[in-house]
Every structure is written in structure tokens, then in C-alpha cells.
A and B are shown apart, each in its own frame.
Chain A
């Protein structure tokens, strides 16, 4: 398996624009997590899914953030409208129920100017 695949690797956008981050989890994994990494706050959980259903979205900072998982092999994190303070690295991770280890994608570095 190619591991967790995130796209794009880097995204630069202007304030106010819509941004969509994408994630393909490892095949067969039934848990998917979105994290945000910043210098000030470290790695924060935004939302996670189990079998494509959102379980906990309490970490989503504002209504500008939304996440979907339309099927077992794809998830998106959307920010609309984007703001400079959204600049961060966004990670997607997946895990198989019953396993201890979560596998991370390479992350998307988002810069909002």
C-alpha cells in the first residue's frame, strides 16, 4: 500500500479564497483523522471519522471549516473563506480498528496570504 496520501503538498492562497485539502486513507482502514499543526498549538485534532461517519468535530475551529468523507477511500477538509491564521500544516491519518498505530500522510502546508 502507498500509505496515506494527501494532496496538495503545498497550497498558497489569498485570504478569502476557498481551500480544499484531500486525503486518501490506507485501504481497509476504518478510522480517519484530520490534525492541524502550528508552532503555537502543536498538533490539534480537528475531526475524525469512523466508517465514513463523523464522530467528533469539536476540534473544528470555526464554521469556516468543514470536512466530509463521502466514501471509505476519500476525505476532504474545506476552509471557506480562508484567513491568514489558518496557515498551518494539515495532516490526515488513518487507522484500522483494534490496531494501536495510526499512519500519517505527508501533510499539506497551507499558506494564506
Chain B
């Protein structure tokens, strides 16, 4: 079974600075998807960014980018120019290529300091 590990339960960053959240996963598959979800205090799960494993290029969405290292099974999220609104729980998730459910890590709580 696939597993997702987020080794940082909590992180903090100064406003306008850059922070990187770590995620590793375990799978024997070669084709899959990886995701980062944001969960603010409202509880809503918001997709931040996704990466297809067959793509070598790292995904980018505005201030959010990933460092996808397939051989190392690592998928970190970098947030640049951090804003107060970025404060939330961040979940890393994995899904096989087939129509299978998401498998989540336990999350990293990010605080942004003004």
C-alpha cells in the first residue's frame, strides 16, 4: 500500500520569506499523481498544486512550486513571498494513475509571522 509521510508537523515563516514543506512517499508504481492541499481554519480542502509523475518538469502555480524528485520519492512544496493568508494546514497526497482514492500525509501546520 502507498504511504505518504510529512515529517514536519509544524513550520513557521516570516511574511514575504520563502518556506519549503517536505513530503516523501512510498510506492512501487511508476505512474501516479501527487498533490498539495491547503486547509485553512474554514476546513475547506483547497487544491494548491498537482504533479504528474511522468512529467519531469516541476509544477508551478504563481507563488507555489514543487521540487519533484521521482527517484528519491520526494515531493516538497515551496511557498515564495509568504503571505498571512498562507497560514493553514498543508497536506501532501498521492493517487495512482487508475481511478483510486487519494492517500494523505498527516499534514504540516504552517504559521506566517507578520
Residues of chain A touching chain B, judged by Cβ–Cβ distance below 8 Å, are: 31, 33, 35, 41-43, 45, 48, 50, 56, 89, 91, 93, 95, 97-98, 100-102, 104, 106-107, 109
Say what secondary structure dominates the interface of chain A. strand
Q: How many residues of B contact A (CB 8 A)?
A: 18
Chain A positions within 8 Å of B91 at CB level: 42-43
Given contacts A100-B33, A100-B95, contact A48 B101 (CB under 8 A): yes
Chain A positions within 8 Å of B45 at CB level: 91, 93, 104, 107
Cβ 8 A contact of A107, one of B43, B95, B99: B43
Residues facing A in B18-57 (CB within 8 A) are: 33, 42-45, 47, 50, 52
User: How far, in Å, is B103 (CB) from chain A's closest CB?
Assistant: 8
Residues of chain B touching chain A, judged by Cβ–Cβ distance below 8 Å, are: 33, 42-45, 47, 50, 52, 91, 95, 99, 101-107
Q: Which residue of A lies closest to B106 (CB)?
A: A42
Say what secondary structure dominates the interface of chain B. loop
10 A-B interface contacts by CB (under 8 A) = A33-B101, A41-B106, A42-B105, A42-B107, A45-B103, A91-B45, A93-B45, A97-B99, A100-B52, A104-B44
Chain B positions within 8 Å of A106 at CB level: 42-44
Q: Which residue of A lies closest to B50 (CB)?
A: A100
Q: How far is the CA of A51 from the CA of B99 in the complex (A)?
A: 12
Q: Which residue of A lies closest to B97 (CB)?
A: A100
| A45 close to B44 (CB less than 8 A) | no
Q: How far is the CA of A97 from the CA of B106 in the complex (A)?
A: 26
Q: How far is the CA of A56 from the CA of B95 in the complex (A)?
A: 15
